Amino acid sequence: MVQREQYERLERHLRSDGRERIDMTFSEVSVVIGAALPRSARNHLAWWGTDPKHTQAVWLGAGYQARANLTAQRVTFIRTARG
């Protein structure tokens, strides 16, 4: 199971990158967090949602929304605010 601290690596990555749009494969996200994404990330769009109560939704704190393409196994982080 991925720990909150591992997801925080993704938040730091997004903050340091800072581009308006960041495209990543699910594999690239896994490398950043240092663990495989859970099955739900690969199968359910809701995992990539905007509910701040979800532990993994660290992109919100960095000022992004996530738009996942489950078929392509890719996610695009789009800046919504300065995180």
Q: Which stretch, 2-6, 13-17, 53-57, has highest mean pLDDT?
A: 13-17
Domain of 53, in residue numbers? 4-79
Instruction: Determine the average pLDDT of the residues in 43-48.
Output: 96
Task: Count structural domains, the chain.
Answer: 1
The tens digit of pLDDT for each residue in 8-42 reads: 999 999 999 999 999 999 999 999 999 999 999 99
Rg (CA), the chain: 11
The tens digit of pLDDT for each residue in 65-81 reads: 999 999 999 999 999 97
Q: pTM for the whole thing?
A: 0.91
For residues 14 and 75, give the distance between their C-alpha atoms in angstroms, rounded to a whole number. Answer: 13
